[in-house]
Amino acid sequence: MYKIVADTLFTGKKVVHLPTCQSTNDTAAEFIQSGRAIAGMVIIADGQTKGRGQRGNSWQATPGLNLTLSLIWSPSFIGAADSFMLNMAVSLAIAETVAHFLPDAAVTVKWPNDIYANGQKICGTLIENTLQGAQIRYSIVGIGLNVNQTDFNGIFATSLKLVSGQQQSLPEVFDFLMCRLEKRYLQLQTQGSTPIRQAYLNRLYRRGQPATYTDLRTDVPVIFEGIIEDIDTAGRLLMRTQNSIEIFDLKQIQFNA
Ligand code: BTN
């Protein structure tokens, strides 16, 4: 069903397609540990029994209707401290893929790397890096893209089909996604982070718009109004508040409705 991707140099040239597995990120980690990983290989499963999300959450997706995959790269040109560059490149490539299939939708990246279509989550990513010294040795890029699922059991999420009203071909979306991912990866390698960072900022959800957030840095969460201004080199969110610019790391802020 999923063919080797034709229009890339190395991404998607080896595709391991499983009917089911626990988590494609876990299977990818096993390939790395056993020395069978090749940069650019993809583990894709029709369904996962224990799909993992960010912050220890689970990832639920109806088998056979979505893309649940993990791509293995070896971005040894990226230092451990700069790993957010890869998050930006990946988020951007996924957003561009979603925008290609949903030309009329507003497709944005919600910091740090959720993809939104018309203000609802359509894709989540779980990137897990292994280091060699101060460099990234392997990166497992786990992607859960909602394609043809239309019922999310009350979860605030959407899919390509829900937005477009049309059934999409999973192999076609897969192929396009692999090409975009490799394009942004190679751009990062050859041009550095500046163009990627600018394109990421241009797609950033709520950037420049006043909105309500919850500050989770203190024991008692504080609701406040702020405006997302920028992202620093460590990938932290710079937020303008009434009196200052506040800096938020992962898990330190919640976006309110
Ligand atoms: C999130 O938004 O919380 C991240 C979700 C990441 C889900 C994908 S599905 C394929 C890969 N395997 C996993 O177990 N998780 C990622």
3-state SS of the chain: helix, strand, coil percent to 5?
25, 35, 40
- Is 51 a pocket residue for ligand 1 (Cβ < 6 Å)? yes
Tokens of 105: 């939708």
**Distance of alpha carbon 112 from alpha carbon 10, whole angstroms:** 26
Atom of ligand 1 nearest to the CA of 22: 14
Question: Domains of the chain, with CATH numbers?
Answer: 15-202 (3.30.930.10), 210-255 (2.30.30)
Ligand 1 neighbourhood includes 113 CB (under 6 angstroms): no
Helix axes 84-101, 170-191, angle to 10 degrees: 140
pLDDT given for residue 1 in this prediction: 85
CA-closest residue to ligand 1 atom 16: 142
To test the pocket of ligand 1, the residue of 54, 59, 111 to mutate (highest count of ligand atoms within 8 Å of its CB) is 59
In whole angstroms, what separates CA 116 from the centre of its chain? Answer: 11
Each residue's pLDDT, cut to its tens digit, for the chain (257 residues) gives 898 998 999 999 999 999 999 999 999 999 999 999 999 999 999 999 999 999 899 999 999 999 999 999 999 999 999 999 999 999 999 999 999 999 999 999 999 999 999 999 999 999 999 999 999 999 999 999 999 999 999 899 999 999 999 999 999 999 999 999 999 999 999 999 999 999 999 999 999 999 999 999 999 999 999 999 999 999 999 999 998 999 999 999 999 99
- Distance from C-alpha of 59 to C-alpha of 94, rounded to nearest angstrom: 17
CA dist., res. 50 & res. 47, Å (int) = 9
Atom of ligand 1 nearest to the CA of 114: 2
Pocket test for ligand 1, best of 143, 146, 155 (most atoms within 8 A of CB): 143
